[in-house]
């Protein structure tokens, strides 16, 4: 079982926009998405449509109705499946992976036209995720995509799985970016994207956002993850060591 920040439930409650869960293969992205969809399914009457390759978790209808489609079996590709999905007017669409420009473009359009879109990328931080989405488009389109993404993005959850110290198993260390007005402004300006980690750190109390290193500190102080394991996984190990000493 992976413990996820409560803020993820709030992102799942958004009426429209895009929520991205990112991390390397095997970092638990599918599990996080399944937990977020499950939250919607238990609490809201929504029409949810998923496109997956392969289907990993089977969802039963609870409050919501869920249609799950598998790429290769039910549809040719993510892009084709996404186009067909939009004609069925779902409230929420899960796109297992955004692998190409066409899929990202249609997913953005879906988010812009009143759907809540969940998807994944293999990026390892919120800032890298923003850069990656923009970089897949041709140079002459990138400025416009930057604006579109800033207007549609609800949040990015980037995760790494770490071995637990307290019990057998692993736990997700998460960076959580909740897109605020300040972050939207920074996203629109290519030269200000690097300020975003500071805004994530500062938004912890008010928005529930957190950097990797903030979460790692919590996991160490809570006795869940070993200090050396956390330090090795930290975005800035030297800074992490310093902050842990200050906190005692």
**DSSP line for 165-226:** SSSSSEEEEEEEEE--HHHHHHHHSGGGGGGHHHHHHHTHHHH--B-HHHHHHHHHHTTSS-
- Residues with Cβ within 8 Å of residue 26, at least 6 apart in sequence: 161
pLDDT-derived band of residue 198, with 50, 70 and 90 as boundaries?
A: very high
- Residues with Cβ within 8 Å of residue 87, at least 6 apart in sequence: none
| pLDDT digit string, tens, across residues 7-53 | 999 999 999 999 999 999 999 999 999 999 999 999 999 999 999 99
What global pTM score does this model have? Answer: 0.95
| pLDDT digit string, tens, across residues 108-146 | 999 999 999 999 999 999 999 999 999 999 999 999 999
Q: Given this model, what pLDDT does residue 247 score?
A: 82
Q: Report CA 37 to chain centroid distance, whole Å.
A: 13
Q: Given this model, what pLDDT does residue 5 score?
A: 66
Distance, CA of 16 to CA of 230 (rounded, Å): 35
Q: Given this model, what pLDDT does residue 130 score?
A: 98
Q: Which residue has the tokens 């736990």?
A: 171
Distances (CA, A) of 112 to 119, 142, 149, 150, 241: 15, 17, 9, 11, 42
Give the chain's domains with CATH numbers: 7-210 (3.40.50.300)
- Please, what is the average pLDDT of the chain? 95
């Amino acid at each position: 079982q992976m413990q996820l920040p409560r803020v993820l439930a709030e992102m799942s409650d958004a009426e429209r926009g895009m929520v991205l869960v990112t991390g390397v293969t095997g970092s638990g992205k599918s599990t996080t998405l399944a937990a977020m969809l499950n939250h919607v399914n238990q609490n809201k009457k929504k029409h949810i449509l998923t496109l997956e390759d392969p289907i990993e978790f089977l969802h039963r209808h609870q409050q919501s109705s869920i249609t799950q489609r598998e790429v290769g079996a039910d549809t040719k590709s993510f892009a084709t499946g996404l186009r067909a999905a939009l004609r069925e007017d779902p409230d929420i669409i899960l796109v297992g992976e955004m692998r190409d420009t066409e899929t990202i473009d249609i997913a953005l359009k879906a988010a812009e036209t009143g759907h809540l879109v969940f998807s994944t990328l293999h990026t390892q931080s919120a800032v890298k995720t923003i850069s990656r989405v923009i970089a897949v488009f041709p140079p002459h389109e990138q400025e416009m995509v930057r604006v579109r993404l800033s207007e549609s993005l609800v949040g990015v959850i980037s995760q790494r799985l770490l071995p637990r110290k307290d019990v057998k198993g692993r736990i997700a260390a998460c960076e959580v970016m909740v897109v605020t007005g300040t972050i939207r402004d920074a996203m629109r300006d290519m030269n200000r994207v690097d300020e975003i980690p500071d805004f994530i750190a500062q938004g912890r109390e008010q928005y529930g956002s957190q950097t990797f290193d903030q979460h790692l500190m919590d996991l160490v102080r809570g006795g869940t993850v070993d200090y050396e394991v956390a330090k090795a996984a930290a975005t800035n190990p030297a800074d992490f060591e310093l902050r842990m000493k200050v906190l005692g």
